[in-house]
Amino acid sequence: MELLKGIAVSPGVTIGPAHVRHAETSFNIPAQAILETDVWKEIARFEDALTRTRAQILGIRKKIATQIGRESSDIFNAHLLILEDRTLIEDVIGIIKERKLNCEHAFASVLQRYFAAFSQIDDAYLRERVADIKDIGRRILENLYGEQKDFEKLERACVIIAHDLSPSDTAMLDKDKVLAFVTEIGGPTSHTAILGRSMEIPAVVGTDRVTSKVKTGDTVIVDGTRGVLIINPDGRTIEEYQRKGKRLTEQTTELDKLRDLPSQTTDGRKIILAANIEFHDEIPSVLSHGAEGIGLYRTEYLYMNRTDLPTEEEQYRAYRQVAEKMAPLPVIIRTLDLGGDKFLSSLDVPHEMNPFLGWRAIRFCLTRVDVFKTQLRAILRASTFLNLKVMYPMIASVQELKKANEILETCRQELRVEGQSYDPKMEVGAMIEIPSAAIISDILAREVNFFSIGTNDLIQYALAVDRVNEKIAYLYEPTHPAILQLIRSVIENGHRHGRWVGSCGEMSGDPAIAILLAGLEIDEISTSPVVLPKVKRAIRATSFSQAKEIARQAMSFQTGAEIREFLDARVHEIMGDQADE
Ligand code: PEP
Ligand code: MG
């Protein structure tokens, strides 16, 4: 049994078989000591992988021989020879036996020696054999890991263990087959983490070397609430976590009772609770968690995992479906927020050194006006249910905002000429997620109906902390005084101009922070549906005057840690044990 710590990003506890996904089979495999008593088991695992690889190669050779011809199939004879190479096999077994190390490492280190030796040889033909050795080496390692390449098509429900999962990889996961996921890289507000919460599966990111510590088939416990992974737990630990899982389910059932109660403070101050979504099939979860609308619909997922762009008609149908299912509750559609950690294969966007600071989101849309207009026309056409609002991501200046609004106006005019209907009063907002936008929010407020503070990005840009980098995740501080000051000034500036102000970053899903935001007079909180009931419970337990006092005092501290500590203490006073759930 071994316990690994990572960053907790999606709550819940699960126990199940692991499925390890190696980013790319690398031959740099860390050594792991094995017990004397496990030496023969380890050798048997290696021999078994050789046998399976041999059977696969024979199968491929046969297929090629019948489909293409005998000659082509002979290529695989070299592979078979390597598989039967006694020197190689003996070397690997020697390392396992004498140095008592895991067979993956033993095999990979012997292969590295072969590569080095072959690359020195002054014979082109022999040098090319390195490719064969690499190829067969990869196959053997995959067999050792028990890896199934197409992990999206899992045969049984399991826990995905991966070096990294991109947001598009995560979006492809079969929700019914994935019990949880654990990755080596990623931060608390990476889009992969956010997707875990949307899918309501436990998730832990930033778990050091997890892919080399877990093997496919190992039983693992994932505690996504505490950020813990336990490999091959003993019976007592399994029972303990089963009890924990049961307690969590009971707590969820309790929280569900709040669903139809208003989200207001004890003295009647209303704070709208809305949900963030990526896909329209999340709407049942949005409603079952008591959201009063959708505060952020991340439309870029409509553009992902495909080689073409979604047409106006296709987007119109998607937006209309969401509007219709949610009506009369409001839905804020965010225009394409491409870039950062979200890449699209359909658009030829060059690889950039700093993708989070690059040609992305509104910057991209203002140069690819064709792509932008297609989306805006689709949104306008779907607005006839009178519950849609639109907002632009990554606004940094008033010029960008004015230009986006001009393009929106052109789309309205075009639709009028075409005789198509739309909601002429559809509200338009700006996301405030870049420090410059927060600082000039007084100017921006004149151009919009509302602001939505995107704290996920605001924190990364204001504190210069990459939100997907686990190594600096400790610096990603939502309670940093600089962040709170920026938020306060955006709310004040918005209100001064009669605009309502929401917050759609993940930090507002933290009950203590939600109380603080309520005290700063935020009008709406939008976050992952799964955490909304806890936010509602916290708001319902606090009075507006208490929240304002908490905000006032919090702003007087000098560090994020002090503010965090203060908030936790105050929430404990207000909510008692519920604060720990
Ligand atoms: C944000 O940046 O806070 C936000 C809500 O947008 P996203 O997480 O999609 O970048
Ligand atoms: Mg953002």
Catalytically active residues are: 191, 504
Q: Does 461 lie in the same domain as 387?
A: yes
Q: Over the range 391-410, which residues count as b (16 or more CB within 10 Å of their CB) and which as e?
A: bbbbbbeeebbebbeebbee
Tell me, in angstroms, the distance from the centre of ligand 1 to residue 81's CA.
54
Q: Does 512 lie in the same domain as 437?
A: yes
The predicted structure's pLDDT at residue 243: 96
Residue 109 lies in a domain: yes
Give the ligand at the shortest distance from the Cα of 505. 1
**Which of 194, 336, 431, 528 to mutate for ligand 1's pocket (most ligand atoms within 8 Å of CB)?**
431
CB of 187 closer than 8 Å to CB of 7: yes
CB of 158 closer than 8 Å to CB of 179: yes
Residue 27 lies in a domain: no
Q: Does 230 lie in the same domain as 330?
A: no
Residue 261 lies in a domain: no
Q: Does 212 lie in the same domain as 104?
A: no
> Across all residues in the chain, what is the average pLDDT?
91
Does 480 sit in the ligand 1 pocket, CB within 6 Å? no
Render pLDDT for 92-105 as a digit per residue (tens, 0 to 9): 999 999 999 999 99
> Does pLDDT of 346 surpass 70?
no
Residue 257 lies in a domain: no
- Domain with residue 54: its CATH number is 1.10.274.10
Q: Does 507 lie in the same domain as 402?
A: yes
Residue 29 lies in a domain: no
Does 505 sit in the ligand 1 pocket, CB within 6 Å? yes
* Span of 52-56, 110-114, 116-120, 254-258 with lowest mean pLDDT: 116-120
Give the ligand at the shortest distance from the Cα of 191. 1
Does 299 sit in the ligand 1 pocket, CB within 6 Å? no
CB of 445 closer than 8 Å to CB of 451: yes
How many domains, the chain?
3
Render pLDDT for 305-345 as a digit per residue (tens, 0 to 9): 776 899 999 999 999 999 999 999 999 999 999 988 887 76
Q: Does 304 lie in the same domain as 238?
A: no
**Is-above-0.85 flag for pTM?**
no
Q: Does 111 lie in the same domain as 7?
A: no
Residue 26 lies in a domain: no
**Which of 195, 197, 296, 461 to mutate for ligand 1's pocket (most ligand atoms within 8 Å of CB)?**
296
> Does pLDDT of 349 surpass 80?
no
The predicted structure's pLDDT at residue 539: 97
Q: Does 547 lie in the same domain as 451?
A: yes
Q: Does 333 lie in the same domain as 313?
A: yes
Residue 321 lies in a domain: yes
Does 205 sit in the ligand 1 pocket, CB within 6 Å? no
* Span of 211-215, 219-223, 366-370, 406-410 with lowest mean pLDDT: 211-215
Residue where a domain terminates, one of 94, 110, 145:
145
Q: What would the mean pLDDT of 267-286 be, rounded to a whole number?
A: 95
Please give the residue range of the domain that contains residue 127.
36-145
Residue where a domain terminates, one of 119, 145, 171:
145
Residue where a domain terminates, one of 145, 174, 199:
145
Which of the four pLDDT bands, split at 50, 70 and 90, describes residue 264? very high
- What's 244-300 look like in SS3? HHHHHHHHHHHHHCCCCCCCECCCCCECEEEEEECCHHHHHHHHHCCCCCEEEEEHH
Q: Which atom of ligand 1 is nearest to the CA of 504?
A: 5
The predicted structure's pLDDT at residue 123: 73
Nearest alpha carbon, ligand 1 atom 3 = 454
Does 344 sit in the ligand 1 pocket, CB within 6 Å? no
The HSE-up count of residue 456 (CA atoms within 13 Å, CB side) is: 25
**What is the SS3 assignment for 397?**
coil
Q: Which atom of ligand 1 is nearest to the CA of 453?
A: 3
* Span of 60-69, 89-98, 258-267, 468-477 with lowest mean pLDDT: 60-69
**Which of 504, 508, 527, 531 to mutate for ligand 1's pocket (most ligand atoms within 8 Å of CB)?**
504
Render pLDDT for 204-242 as a digit per residue (tens, 0 to 9): 999 999 998 999 899 999 999 999 999 999 999 999 999
The one-letter amino acid at 78: A
> Does pLDDT of 430 surpass 90?
yes
- Domain with residue 223: its CATH number is 3.50.30.10
> Does pLDDT of 488 surpass 90?
yes
The predicted structure's pLDDT at residue 148: 46
Render pLDDT for 137-159 as a digit per residue (tens, 0 to 9): 888 887 887 654 445 457 789 99
Q: Does 159 lie in the same domain as 140?
A: no
Q: What would the mean pLDDT of 71-91 be, rounded to a whole number?
A: 81
Q: What would the mean pLDDT of 526-537 be, rounded to a whole number?
A: 95
Which of the four pLDDT bands, split at 50, 70 and 90, describes residue 69? low
Does 300 sit in the ligand 1 pocket, CB within 6 Å? no
Does 341 sit in the ligand 1 pocket, CB within 6 Å? no
Nearest alpha carbon, ligand 1 atom 4 = 454
Q: Does 211 lie in the same domain as 357?
A: no
Portion of the chain with pLDDT greater than 70, in percent: 94
Tell me, in angstroms, the distance from the centre of ligand 1 to residue 62's CA.
52
Residue 465 lies in a domain: yes
Q: What would the mean pLDDT of 369-382 be, rounded to a whole number?
A: 98
Q: Does 66 lie in the same domain as 190?
A: no
Does 296 sit in the ligand 1 pocket, CB within 6 Å? yes
Q: How far apart are CA 433 and CA 452, in angstroms?
A: 8
* Span of 84-93, 110-119, 420-429, 511-520 with lowest mean pLDDT: 110-119
